[in-house]
Every structure is written in structure tokens, then in C-alpha cells.
Amino acid sequence: MLAQSLIVASAAILFLFGSLHAFYTFASNKFSPRDPELEQRLKAVSPVISRQTTMWKAWVGFNASHSLGAILFGAVYIYLSLYHALLLFQSYFLLGLGVIVLIAYLIVAKLYWFSAPLRGIALALGFYLAAIVASRL
């Protein structure tokens, strides 16, 4: 039961961060540049890969897909922990995949983001690893 609760706590952090990120992407100006002229340029300039989009649309799309990834991770691991705990805790693949995803998010947060997501993901990883240990006791 402790291991399940720790996975739920870990996954809930990612679900919450992903949901908040989606809200910030679509319903706020949190990801807008402080320089309004830069935003106008981003809306006018295409990336080298394609003229079918703009840097601004790509930016919004990257943020949206990033949000969906965190929401999906949270939803799947909450579901597995609550309704298929035996499968989750007996599967080295599922447990290992969760560790890899959380470590990848932690590295990206350290390299590219700011302190709040870094701390939240570190906490989620700590809960997740503690759940693995608790499941083995």
C-alpha cells in the first residue's frame, strides 16, 4: 500500500505540472516573451525545416506536446498503481521506464528550465524510487 501511494504521489506531481503547463500554454501569457517585438517576430518567421508554420506556432506546439507527455505519464502511472499494482511492481520494464522518464525530465529541467520544475521533478523521482524500494521490502 505504501509503494502504491508513493507512485500515485510521484505521478500526481507530473500530472499536475503537465496540467498547469497546458493551462499556461493556452490560457495565459506565462510563456510569452517579455519583449512584445520578439513575439511579433516569432509569429512572422518560419523555421528552416518548413515554411508551413512559424516559430511561434512551433513554440506553442512544443509546449502543448510537452504538457501532454507529463499528463500521460501521470495518468498512466496513477492508473497502474491504483488498479494494476501487481503488474506495475512485477514489471521491470514499467518500473524502469518510469525511472528513465523521470530522470530524463530531471536532466532537461536542470539544463533548460528553472528551479520550481526541477524541485518538483526531483521530488517525484524521490517518491518513485522510494516506491520501488518499499515494494521490495
- Dihedral of the alpha carbons of 77, 81, 87, 92, in degrees to the nearest 10: 60
What is the model's pLDDT at position 46?
Answer: 97
Percent of the chain having pLDDT more than 90?
Answer: 100
Residues 38-78 have pLDDT tens digits of 999 999 999 999 999 999 999 999 999 999 999 999 999 99
What is the model's pLDDT at position 13?
Answer: 98
What is the model's pLDDT at position 22?
Answer: 98
Q: What does the H/E/C string look like for the chain? A: CHHHHHHHHHHHHHHHHHHHHHHHHHHCCCCCCCCHHHHHHHHHCCCCCCCCCCHHHHHHHHHHHHHHHHHHHHHHHHHHHHHCHHHHHHCHHHHHHHHHHHHHHHHHHHHHCCHHHHHHHHHHHHHHHHHHHHHHC
What is the model's pLDDT at position 54?
Answer: 97
One-letter amino acid identity for 45? V
Give me the number of domains the chain comprises.
Answer: 1
Q: How far apart are CA 53 and CA 16, in angstroms?
A: 29
Which residues constitute the domain of residue 32?
2-136
Q: How far apart are CA 134 and CA 10, in angstroms?
A: 14
Low-confidence ranges of the chain (pLDDT < 70): none
In this prediction the pTM is 0.93
| Residue 90: count of CB within 10 angstroms of its CB | 11
What is the model's pLDDT at position 108?
Answer: 97
